[in-house]
Amino acid sequence: EMPLLEQCYNLMDFEAVARRVMKKGAWGYYSSAADDEITMRENHGAFHRIWFRPKILVDVEKVDFSTAMLGAKVDIPFYVTATALGKLGHVEGEVVLTRAAHKHNVIQMIPTLASCSFDEIVDAAGPGQVQWLQLYVNKDRAITQRIVEHAEKRGCKGLFITVDAPQLGRREKDMRSKFTDPGSNVQSGQTTDNSQGAARAISSFIDPALSWADIPWFQSITKMPIVLKGVQRVEDVLKAVELGVQGVVLSNHGGRQLDFARSGVEILAETMPVLRELGLQDKIEVYIDGGARRATDIIKALCLGAKGVGIGRPFLYAMSAYGLDGVNRAMQLLKDEMEMNMRLIGATRIDELSPSLLDVRSLFNH
């Protein structure tokens, strides 16, 4: 039968339970990635090519891994990244993630294509809770402007513009399962054709003509910090710095877009030395997502220079299998792993994490 929540000892365990208990269509949408899913596997695998060079005989009795992202204080340097269609996994949808993020004092990124309405997700937040907005840019810019202005008015603290999805990737597991929407709020302004799976059905409004030339327009309509989500090469990070955006997420969309895109953590290891060389490392906040499942993954990213790490599927799986208790346990497991591993590498605070604590020789040579 179904394992007890207490029998989930790490984030991968939730995936194994979710695979068994979720409806086929929902599992297909959450777990799928593009084409041969090589990039999705690489996201997880890349972390396994980074090793630690721990310091010994450091007083690690007290460990504090709180930090700040876009100026907001958080307990631990991960955030709940945007994932569409929360109600496929749980009747209450994204607000379950909101409540867990509040309990653990981490940031939730609200997806454009949430099942709950944007206002429901903001209303579910506790006092002072920080949320960001993930934006898919509509061909009709008036719609996008209304979404952005509304988010700012409702107190969102960051605008994450997804730049890796001019067209949604081909996710065959999703296409094969007969997707039925369990009553979501998603409004694409189009009649949906479910024959191509959930992803295609909800994404036809996204503007493939979005370009660098649009960035100043976003800066003119909002005071929220702007972060480009889905950057894949250091050249584009430098362009982002030039345009004065506040951040980038080095990400391949959980492997769901371009198969054979590199992992965020590998791009990070390539990017930060270049930024440091040019003296630009404080001009932009660099985040990564994709495949992070352990606190050691988070620590590796922070050592390389990331401000924080987005985590997607594990919280969806925990929510789908066990609801709020599941997501809370997943986050607590990460906090427990974080405390132990900070101690074991000899670091007591986030600002002590540096490249010298890592051996990345096999990251690129494999």
Check residue 138 for interaction with ligand FNR (CB under 6 A). Answer: no
- Near ligand FNR in 8-27, by CB under 6 A: none
- Alpha-carbon span 58 to 206, nearest angstrom: 51
- Dihedral of the alpha carbons of 31, 36, 39, 40, in degrees to the nearest 10: 20
Provide, rounded to whole angstroms, the least separation between the CB of residue 273 and ligand FNR. 24
Q: Which of 13, 30, 102, 164 is catalytic?
A: 164
HSE, side-chain direction, 13 A CA sphere, residue 111: 24
Among residues 90, 236, 253, 297, the one annotated as catalytic is: 253
135 beta partners: 161
* Residue 160: CB minimum distance to ligand FNR, A: 7
Task: Report the alpha-carbon distance of residue 40 to residue 173 in Å, rounded.
Answer: 13
Q: CB under 6 A: which stretch of 53-61, 75-83, 186-194, 216-224 binds ligand FNR? A: 75-83
**Only segment of 10-18, 78-86, 333-341, 343-351 that touches ligand FNR (CB under 6 A):** 78-86
The yes or no reply on residue 111 touching ligand FNR (CB under 6 A) is yes
- Number of C-beta neighbours around residue 351 at 10 A: 9
Residue 282's CB is within 10 A of a number of other CB atoms, namely: 8
**Judged by CB, which is closer to ligand FNR: 44, or 55?**
44
Task: For residue 77, give the 3-state DSSP assignment.
Answer: coil
For ligand FNR, which residue of 162, 177, 328, 341 counts as binding (CB under 6 A)? 162
The span from the CA of 324 to the CA of 8, in Å, is 14
- Exposed, middle or buried, 343 (CB in 10 Å: 0-12/13-18/19+)? middle
**314 token code pair:** 């594990």
Three-state secondary structure call for residue 316: helix
Residue with tokens 């919280």: 315
Catalytic option among 29, 30, 79, 136:
136
- Mask: binding to ligand FNR, 39-58, rule CB under 6 A, as x and -? ----x---------------
> Least distance from C-beta 232 to ligand FNR, angstroms?
12
Q: Is 164 a catalytic residue?
A: yes
Nearest distance in Å: CB 286, ligand FNR? 15
Residue nearest to ligand FNR (CB): 312
Contacting range for ligand FNR; rule: CB under 6 A; set: 60-68, 76-84, 143-151, 182-190:
76-84
253 carries an active-site annotation:
yes
| Contacting residue, 87, 90, 171, 229, with ligand FNR by CB under 6 A | 229
x/- contact string, 240-279, with ligand FNR (CB under 6 A)? -----------x-xx-x-----------------------
Q: Does 200 bind ligand FNR (CB under 6 A)?
A: no
Strand ranges, E, within the chain: 51-52, 67-69, 72-74, 78-80, 108-110, 131-135, 159-162, 226-231, 247-250, 285-289, 308-311, 358-359
Cβ neighbourhood burial of 115 (10 Å; 0-12, 13-18, 19+): buried
The catalytic residues are 136, 164, 253
> Site residues (CB under 6 A) for ligand FNR?
29-30, 43, 81-84, 111, 113, 134, 162, 229, 251, 253-254, 256, 289-292, 310-313
